[in-house]
Every structure is written in structure tokens, then in C-alpha cells.
A and B are shown apart, each in its own frame.
Chain A
Amino acid sequence: MSHDPYIELRNVSFGYGERQILSNINLRVPRGQLVAIMGGSGSGKTTLLRLISGQVRPDSGEVWVDGKNVATMNTRELYAHRRKMGMLFQFGALFTDLSVADNVAFPLREHTALPEDMIRDLVTLKLSAVGLRGTQTLMPAELSGGMARRVALARAIALDPELMLYDEPFTGLDPISLGVIAHLIKRLNQALGTSAVMVTHDVQKSLEIVDYVYFVAHGEIAAEGSPETVRHSDSPWLKQFVHGDPDGPVHFAYPADTSLADDLSAGAR
């Protein structure tokens, strides 16, 4: 095992057309660590995951994953890269026309030539790892949000990935499901030695499980540190984010061009 980080982003910039999403991002994920990327909605967090998985390419900069630059890969290399990677989507993104078992078996059937009974055993193992053994024949529509997320997690780990990407794994879950998912993410990271990147805006839960945190604001890394340093930081920006205060350096309201009085019809008098 080498000592360089599993993921390293160097001076990465990215934009959709005119709109700049990320500028000059530098970020490292050491091997076997769980790193969170936090920030408000629309700060470009999810775009970072899309850059790492090669779904989009940076306008400039390099995206190194396991010693290879994702930014310059061709389709074949990209697909080989993705085979070592699992991704949990925000709402699971389960295939609605396949049963739970077929969903989990999907990557196995696509990428391995394993016999059907072995696939069935692997599916059972993965499902029991997320506490859902016995749901094999259910359809995604019959699952609750938290269960769907866990099935999606089982699917993402089906090929025992070296790298896990989590896109907002805690959104829209009740506290118990949230705790279960957080526990699973941590256990996967520790038991399998998987390197992992988690994009989230759930500060409290994330700080409990991650090794390192990056804060993204306005397309730039605004702060970084271990959970301990973040909790005790006296930066007003971090304090506002960690405690969820409406007032502080971050403005809650969208920056409108006109004043409120002008927008209201009474202002025209």
C-alpha cells in the first residue's frame, strides 16, 4: 500500500457554461479514511462527487484517484475506474423495474460471470450487511425511504469497492434510519478499509463519524480540519455553519437586485 492519498484534487475548476461552480479546489482523501464535504445547498458539493466519479470533467486542474488522472481518461479507462467504485445516490436511485435482489445483483451480473446461485448468496450477504435480509422479493416501490437507501447501499458495495462516494446519505431520513445509515457507513469504512467521500449538510451526524472535513462555499474550500478542530474553531463562518445560525457571515437571503420596498407594489407610489 502506497502512502499517497487515494484521491487528490489539484487546482480543480469547473463551470456549466458561463456559471462557475468550483474554482481552484485542492482536496485530499487519504487511503482508508472517511472524508466529508460540507456546505450549503448549491455550493458545488455534488459536482465534486461527479468530478471524482468522472461523470463530468474539470475545465482545468487534475483529479487523481488511485494514481490515475480521471480528467484525462477515455471511456474505457473511466469504466474500469468506476468498477472499483461504489456510489450511493441521494434518493437511492434503485431500478424501479427490478426487485430488491435483482437491484443488488445488478453490478454482479453486469461485471462478473459468477454462477446464479453464487450471485444469490452474495446478494443475501450484502442485504444482511445492511440488515435487510428477507426483502429480496420486494419491489423498490414497497420500501420506505430509509430501506431504499440501505438497499442502494447494499448495491453500491456489491463489488466490494475500494472507494465509496455518498451523495447526501442522510437527507430525508428519520433519526433512527439516519443513525443506522451513519453506523453502516462508518462500519464499511473501518471493516473493509474503504476510502470514502461523503457529501452532506448534516453537520452534527457527520462530525461524529468522519476523519476529516472540507467546507465548500461559493465554489471554494472555505475551511477544513478534523472534527475536533472544526467543533472548537472560533471562525465565525464555521461557527454559523456548525450551529446552524441564521445570522452570521453567510447570508440566508438570495441577493436580489432591487430592494424589498421597490419590489412591493406600494413602493411605486
Chain B
Amino acid sequence: MFNTLASPFRKLGELTINAVWRLGFATRFLGAILMYSGQSLMRLQMTIREVYFAGVLSLIIIVVSGLFVGMVLGLQGYNTLSRFGSADALGALVALSLLRELGPVLAALLFASRSGSAMTAEIGLMKATEQLDAMRVMAVNPIARVVAPRFWAGVISMPVLAALFNVMGVFGGYLIGVVMIGLDAGTFWSQMQANVDLHSDVINGLIKSLVFGIAVTLIAVFEGYDATPTASGVSSATTRTVVTSALVILALDFVLTAFMF
């Protein structure tokens, strides 16, 4: 009787302790990554290789999505703005929505599902097939050799990908607004130029994407390193990477926006 009553509370306690423990572990893991980063940044070749896998191979999805998001913004924005007779402001609308919000957030979500999941699966499988153990036995620290280069690759790639997303989005908005609907190109660009501020819009957006990059990549490498070394363990770790990343991106976005704008 007592056991049946107590069991939900016990479960809750277990879950809480587990969550706090993992958070602490992830923080110490970040500390370890930073500590061993020197070695991996000295051998830049390793990090560049990971930038290729995490960043360059994400180009297609980022470029195509950016273009479509920009085109949708062009259509929807024109629709709404023209009701108030201010269709001229379309360039400013497209650029501001992308730079402040959509670019960093959507690029980070795409990056988490494309590259974050791949990192988790790769590190998790390396663990499952004893490759990380083999490294340790060869007196090579897997955090320095495997984790740190991937972490830095993610941190470097994310702002660049978000910037590219923005560029493609603005181009998409231009295609719809100017080429298809026939707004004046001069107005489109000059409105954009007049309303976008380098510091408060462009830089803040880049800071956002840098923070997302750190968060997503840390989650990805941590989940991979912490994965149960079996097929099902790696698969659930990969799922957790995508789910946790998405939630963390949106939560961080709220916090950052509240502070910045």
C-alpha cells in the first residue's frame, strides 16, 4: 500500500535527480572540452575536416530553406502590408524578420536536425564499437581528439550558416516582391538599408546564432558521448539531441530576445 502511494513521488524524485545530474555532467563536459580545445585547435586540420561535415554539407538544406522562407515572407508580407498601403516597406520587413528572428532560429533548428543528430549518432556509434575505448588505450583523449574538433566545428559553422540563410531569405523576398509582384527595386533596397541597423539587428542576430551554435553542438556531442552503447541507446540519444536542441533553441531565443530588443 505504502509502496503504491510512494511510487509516483519516488519516480518524480528519480527523474529530477537524474535531470540535475545530467545537467551537471554536461557542464563539466563543456569544461573538459574547453580544457582540451588547445590541442585540437593547434591541429586545425581536424577541426576544418569537421567544419566540412557539419557546415559545408548542410549548405544545401540551409540555402534552399532560406530561399523558400524568404519567398513566403515576400508573399505574406506583401499581402498584409498592401492592406495598409505600405507595400514599399516590404524590403525592411523581410530583412528585419530574417535577421532578428527567423534566420538564427530556423538555421539552428535545421542545423540541429541535420548536423547535430549526425554528430550524436557518430560519437555514439564510436562508443558502441569500442573506438573511444581504443583511443583511450592508445593514450589519446577522445574528448581532445573526437569531441572538441566537432564542438568547434559546430560553433564556427552555425553563425555562417545563419548568415547564409539570411542572405538567401532576402534574395527570396526580392524575387517575390520585385521580380514577381513588380515593386520598385530601388524602394525595396533603400527601405531595407534605412531600417536595418548594423548593431541592433545584424550583430544581435549573429550573437543569437552563435549562442544557438554552442548550445546545439554541446547537446549533440554530449548526447553522443553519454549514449548507452547499444543500437537502441544510440537511436534514443539521437532523438534526444533533436528534441532537446529544438526546445533549448526556442527557450534561449525568448531569453535573448527579451534582453536584446
Contacts and interface: CB of A to CB of B under 8 A. Distances in A.
B28 interface: no
Best-surrounded residue of A83, A87, A90, A165 (most CB of chain B within 10 A): A87
A106 B136 contact: no
Nearest to B137: A87
A78 B145 CA distance: 17
Interface of A is mostly: mixed
B138 A89 contact: no
B207 interface: no
A107 interface: yes
Contacts of A110: 138-140, 145
Contacts of A106: 138, 140
A91 B137 contact: no
A87 B140 contact: no
Interface in B114-138: 122, 125-126, 129-131, 133-134, 136-138
A230 interface: no
A166 to B, nearest CB: 12
Interface in A99-115: 106-107, 110-111
A143 interface: no
A79 B122 CA distance: 25
Interface string A149-183: 00000000000000001000000000000000000
A119 interface: no
Contact of A85 (B125, B134, B137, B141): B137
Best-surrounded residue of B131, B134, B137 (most CB of chain A within 10 A): B137
B139 A91 contact: no
B133 to A, nearest CB: 7
Best-surrounded residue of B130, B133, B138 (most CB of chain A within 10 A): B138
Contacts of B133: 55, 89, 93
A53 interface: yes
B225 to A, nearest CB: 16
A82 B129 contact: no
The 6 closest A-B pairs by CB, nearest first: A93-B134, A93-B130, A82-B139, A79-B139, A87-B137, A83-B139
Interface of B: 122, 125-126, 129-131, 133-134, 136-141, 145
28 contacts: A55-B136, A55-B137, A78-B139, A79-B141, A80-B139, A82-B136, A82-B137, A82-B138, A85-B137, A87-B134, A87-B137, A89-B130, A89-B134, A91-B130, A93-B129, A93-B130, A93-B134, A94-B131, A95-B126, A95-B131, A95-B134, A96-B125, A106-B140, A107-B138, A110-B138, A110-B145, A111-B139, A165-B137
